[in-house]
Structure 1
Amino acid sequence: MHPSRLSRVAALGAVLATGSLALSAAPAAAVTGGTPVADADTTYAYTAQVIVGGHDRGCSAVLVDTEWLLTAASCFAADPAVSLEVAPGAPAKTVTAVVGRTDLSNSQGAERRVVELVPRTDRDVVLARLNRPVTNVAPAALATTAPTAGQEAKFAGYGRTADAWAPLRLHTGTYTVDSVAATSADVTGVNGAAACMGDAGGPVVVAGTLIGLSSRSQQGGCHGTDAAQTGTGGVISRVDDLASWVSSKVRAPRITDFNGDGTEDIAIADPAATVGGDTNAGLVRIVYGGGKGTAEINQDLDWVAGGAEQGDWFGDAIDTVDYNEDGYTDLVVGSTLEDVGSVADAGFVDVLYGAPGGLGTGTLKNTHFEQGAGTGAIKATAPGAGERMGDAVAAGTTAAGEPYLVIGVPGETVNGKAKAGMAFYLRGGTNVAVHQDSTDVPGAVEADDGFGAAVAADANHIAVGAPNENIGGDDASGNLAVFSHTLHSDGHPKPLFGLDQDLDNVSGAAEAGDEFGYALTLTDYRPSGAATADESILAIGSPGEAMTIGTSSRAAAGRVVVGRVTAAGTWQESRQLWQGTADDDVSGTAETGDRMGESLTAVNTDPRAVSTAATMRLAVGAPGEALGAVANAGAVHTFSLVAAAGANDRWIEAGDGDGIPGSPGANQYLGRNIHYTATHLYVGMPYGPGLGALYALPMSNTVVGGAVAPVTAYKPGTGGLPNVGVRFGAQAR
């Protein structure tokens, strides 16, 4: 019987997954006509073994990107004999992958966890994201032309052989292509070779390029198959037409997805909220994407550390990262003014873990970081009054895919200098403190520097601001230090350079009250000619900067310095941004108290590609902006990070048609909270009108000449959010 006419049970169920099996003690021969791959043969190094759950199922796969596998959807379907439907997002069970290991008993290649599934709905194919990149195995190249009848193709996999249920060695065989359909092709094994259970999702290759994945088979000669079944026919899923789909998925930046359903979620902080009668205790509200409801996170929940108390300011700083690498986004929350024991305003930080039911619903709920407890440098330092641990937090993953946290403690006393400040850096087993007396860190510890009041980080670099630093006798002139994720011999992140406005490579001049480094943002940058985004663009806010218009000095008008942090660890300033005069090519006019640069957010919307003016975006808050006679109404500028300001400057204020409704109001401070994702600019209005709001502006609304699309509004009393709030929208991630 031809394989395309096999019953669905026979065609799918037998090949697609192995059962729970013990591994055989030694490598076994391949199916009749098949060939075990020698250790020295790297031709099929991109082949992976995928194990679902505790060996509930086993499949093969192929590495098509450093972070992604292509494999069979049937490996993850609840009942592949009935349906190949696979839910997008985090897998329902733990899934492990071994890539580039010809012999499973050795240590070749890499071991990873599958943390996200992106299924096709038209064929037996799914993309599977790995928790970390695989850098020692070259991915397979997808074919760009369809297979043709009569072609011979090689297939590879870790499935059963003629005499072993679970062989330890990768094996290959040869197919002849019989016929080609829109999404599949019928094949027949040559010389008795057949795909067996466990081979599903393995690569099928012609002339060194990937044309398909093994999907179904008659399994003639496979161990455990009825001896009367001798057919070696099968069906492969075509992938030669999937290059653009694969590219669009692997190049997309990660989304916030607390419940792992593949739909973007949002966390919105109200750090001044009243909880259980305690004012300014603070809370974070979660809106789950896809209409899956809302949740409130506060310290009166039994799985959140501490207890809601007056003045804790839980949620004063937040960020997100998949800290335990399970496919669910985790929320990092700073409780800036938390009392620790009898120590007032010491502050602490929590990582709240995502799970299928949302934050706090899994077995692992919270990792708590509090000075004097836990491990490493955090345990080695005692909490102090007014130290404000968690006043700023940054979270992400390194270029190697390792999750990290940077926690600012700007009120820390260092070497007897009160409020000199420091930061904690956590990555894997690393838990270290860094401050201006750490080896090779620029600057010196002085009282009131506030080192750690601003932190920013991306895959390549870390920046820590000290906006109150005295430079050349000028108080609160400000500076910052830039580090790599590589560790110094003393254990802290390796310092690269410091920046202040009295340096020759930084424009301007250090003056009292500039607050250079008050706000920082970093994002990955791939220059032309580079293989990866191994550099960064750094924007530095100096909201206290006095700017001169003609002969008039406008105090605290503010400005932003933008520059490049190279792969070699050097700084190259590219431009300064400020409002200038009414008739220049940047919107607005520099005025006293604008505080342009008090908040910053940047994003690279396509980090795999060479960076362009369109993909590198920056938003700058000017919360003190007066609009007409309306004081402190606030506004937001958006720019390209890598192109001239004027042609890329879009001005956003309430009621101007870009998506924020209403009209400018006094003391609304629009622009004090802004956050870019790859698709939206989130703009908070925590100072009203009303109880606060958060607006998600589509990217086109923030680009010069872009069409104004509908915004998503998050407001107390709408969309399932309770009609209460004090500073709703103060932070969002």
Structure 2
Amino acid sequence: MATYTRNRLLGAAALCAATALGVTGVTAGSAAAVDAPSKIRGDYNGDGYVDLAVGVPSATVDGKAEAGYVNVVWGGASGLGKHGSTTVSQSTAGVPGTAEAGDGFGYAVASDDMNGDGYSDLVVGAPDEDTTVGLSVGTVAVVWGGAGGLKGGFTAANGNFDSSRYGAQLATGDFDKDGDNDIAFNAHFDESSSVRMRPGPFTAGSPATLERVAGWHFAGSTALASGDFDGDGGDDLAVSYNGMEISGTTVMNRASGEWKETWRTSDRTNTSLATGDFDGDGTTDLAVGNVQPNPETEQTHCEDRLGGAILTVYGKKDGALGDGGTACTTQSSPEVGGTAEADDNFGAHLAADDLDGNGGAELIVGADAEAVGTARNAGTYWTLASAGAGKPFTGPAVSQNTAGVAGTAEADDH
């Protein structure tokens, strides 16, 4: 279950700005030691400040092209970027596996306390990892957080077929309500795909049995997200999927001991999900990004889709996802900056956090194909606030041409 903190996504924006300016060097930072961990999600050294983990799966490691690493920027009293950073790869001592060309370590990353010690741990997917079983079987690893930073690791799952690509998508949460956090991830098998769960705890000798959450023929998952949508104390799993003749987003719940579908839409998205308590009522809500028409069904939650639409589905305590209502947001919505145009990809990228500390999460929205002036595909983002169920979110658009933002909007910046 996510713990929202106000500076996590602000730090992410700062890092993206640094990347746009060409700041690519990695500095060796140190993690500040603490007496007791903060238990904040994303705080790998327990000092009370959220750290930022960014996967760089195309990075060269020890001369191995696209072996991949995760860049971890340490948070602190002065914010992200002021307290150093470090990299974690399969060449890092104690991290499972060996850095090899094309592994894609860091393709997906997630954070949660996976061993119950109070420190947030780093969960990393390497979907193109080769093993003796086959090529691109994929692997999911946990790198342990602690007072000294990220050290050591644990293999949570290894793929068991050629091109099974374990770890291309990840989500964490206590799905089975046993007090231990679990990992959900994708799995591909020839003409079918599924989402699987590796239950916690992630300790030596713990059972490595995988559970099947959901599956499809000629289709596969495209995004995963977790949250407690019904306020029952356990996490639910949202899965977007897409295929030849089927697509949509489903929410699965395991509170009864078996995985059951509790909500579904046939609106299709290929890219993004985000969860947060957008209306501040204490239950988690779901945002589905860049929803598009589904030619196989007439069902839709968002009639206006020009340039991309975001469907928000509100949770309700002692109810189900959707019992709190729904809302659709586009660039044509009142008090949303910008102008809706075809192929903007509004909502192609989503994140959520309580940035202003008011108890409700804001929704950060990216449109990587948005034109800025005459610069095509320059890209824009929005920080949007909920106006309540049934009402679109509101907020301004920000680009590299916005006052105070570093750089200049140029074609294909995305």
Q: What TM-score comes out, normalization by structure 2 length?
A: 0.75
Aligned counterpart in structure 2 of residue 366 of structure 1, from 136, 153, 156: 153
* 2:339 paired residue number: 589
CA distance in 2, matches of 1:434, 1:556: 36
User: CA shift at 1:403, angstroms?
Assistant: 4.0
Query: 5 Å matches for 1:28-47?
Result: none
* 1:468 paired residue number: 242
AA aligned to 1:590 is: A
User: CA shift at 1:282, angstroms?
Assistant: 0.9
Matched residues, percent identical? 25
Contact 1:461 1:483 in 2 (8 A): no
Aligned counterpart in structure 1 of residue 252 of structure 2, from 459, 479, 483: 483
User: CA shift at 1:399, angstroms?
Assistant: 11
Query: 5 Å matches for 1:630-641?
Result: 630-641=375-386
SS of residue paired to 1:565? coil
AA aligned to 2:400 is: A
Contact 2:171 2:226 in 1 (8 A): yes
Aligned counterpart in structure 2 of residue 271 of structure 1, from 48, 53, 57: 57
Contact 1:265 1:289 in 2 (8 A): yes
Aligned counterpart in structure 2 of residue 395 of structure 1, from 172, 191, 196: 172
Change over 3 Å in CA distance of 1:645–1:446 after alignment to 2: same
Aligned length: 357
CA shift digits 1:243-301 (9 cap, x unpaired): xxxxxxxxxxx253222233332223222111111111111122333465432211122
Contact 2:304 2:330 in 1 (8 A): no
* 1:496 paired residue number: 262
User: CA shift at 1:463, angstroms?
Assistant: 3.2
Query: 5 Å matches for 1:655-670?
Result: 655-657=401-403, 659-669=404-414
AA aligned to 1:465 is: V
Contact 2:386 2:392 in 1 (8 A): no
SS of residue paired to 2:217? coil
Query: 5 Å matches for 1:330-479?
Result: 330-341=121-132, 343-360=134-151, 365-371=152-158, 383-396=160-173, 402-413=179-190, 418-428=191-201, 431-436=209-214, 445-447=216-218, 449-451=219-221, 453-459=222-228, 460-469=234-243, 475=245, 478-479=247-248
CA distance in 2, matches of 1:423, 1:585: 40
Query: 5 Å matches for 1:700-715?
Result: none
User: CA shift at 1:654, angstroms?
Assistant: 1.4
AA aligned to 1:626 is: A
* 1:520 paired residue number: 273
Which protein is bigger by CA-based radius of gyration?
A: 1
Aligned counterpart in structure 2 of residue 262 of structure 1, from 37, 42, 48: 48
Contact 2:291 2:305 in 1 (8 A): no
CA distance in 2, matches of 1:306, 1:357: 22
CA shift digits 1:303-357 (9 cap, x unpaired): 1122112211111111111211222221111112222335222211111001222
- The answer to whether the aligner puts 1:621 opposite 2:355 as a matched pair is no
Bigger mean CA deviation after superposition, 384-393 or 566-575:
566-575
Query: 5 Å matches for 1:529-540?
Result: 533=282, 535-540=283-288
Contact 1:519 1:542 in 2 (8 A): yes
AA aligned to 1:328 is: Y
Contact 1:338 1:344 in 2 (8 A): yes
User: CA shift at 1:587, angstroms?
Assistant: 1.9
CA distance in 1, matches of 2:356, 2:196: 30
CA shift digits 1:55-106 (9 cap, x unpaired): xxxxxxxxxxxxxxxxxxxxxxxxxxxxxxxx99443xxxxxxxxxxxxxxx
CA distance in 2, matches of 1:397, 1:338: 27
- The answer to whether the aligner puts 1:602 opposite 2:352 as a matched pair is yes
Bigger mean CA deviation after superposition, 457-466 or 618-627:
457-466
User: CA shift at 1:557, angstroms?
Assistant: 2.3
CA distance in 1, matches of 2:255, 2:99: 38
Contact 1:321 1:403 in 2 (8 A): no
Contact 2:277 2:360 in 1 (8 A): no
Query: 5 Å matches for 1:675-686?
Result: none
- The answer to whether the aligner puts 1:654 opposite 2:400 as a matched pair is yes
- The answer to whether the aligner puts 1:578 opposite 2:330 as a matched pair is yes
Contact 2:114 2:181 in 1 (8 A): yes
CA distance in 1, matches of 2:304, 2:319: 38
Change over 3 Å in CA distance of 1:606–1:639 after alignment to 2: closer
CA distance in 1, matches of 2:347, 2:393: 19
CA distance in 2, matches of 1:636, 1:525: 18
- The answer to whether the aligner puts 1:569 opposite 2:338 as a matched pair is no
Change over 3 Å in CA distance of 1:543–1:622 after alignment to 2: farther
Contact 2:143 2:150 in 1 (8 A): yes
SS of residue paired to 2:106? strand
Q: Which runs of 5+ in 2 are unaligned?
A: 1-31, 77-81, 229-233, 295-302
User: CA shift at 1:599, angstroms?
Assistant: 1.5
Contact 1:280 1:310 in 2 (8 A): yes
Q: What TM-score comes out, normalization by structure 1 length?
A: 0.44
Greater RCO (CA < 8 Å, at least 6 residues apart): 2
Q: Which runs of 5+ in 1 are unaligned?
A: 1-86, 92-114, 117-130, 132-253, 372-381, 438-444, 502-514, 547-552, 670-733
SS of residue paired to 1:596? coil
User: CA shift at 1:605, angstroms?
Assistant: 6.2
Aligned counterpart in structure 1 of residue 105 of structure 2, from 311, 314, 318: 314
AA aligned to 1:355 is: G
* 1:186 paired residue number: none
CA distance in 2, matches of 1:495, 1:432: 19
CA distance in 2, matches of 1:525, 1:580: 20
Change over 3 Å in CA distance of 1:355–1:468 after alignment to 2: same
Contact 1:467 1:479 in 2 (8 A): yes
Change over 3 Å in CA distance of 1:562–1:330 after alignment to 2: same
CA shift digits 1:206-228 (9 cap, x unpaired): xxxxxxxxxxxxxxxxxxxxxxx
CA distance in 2, matches of 1:412, 1:342: 13
User: CA shift at 1:386, angstroms?
Assistant: 2.4
CA distance in 1, matches of 2:68, 2:33: 33
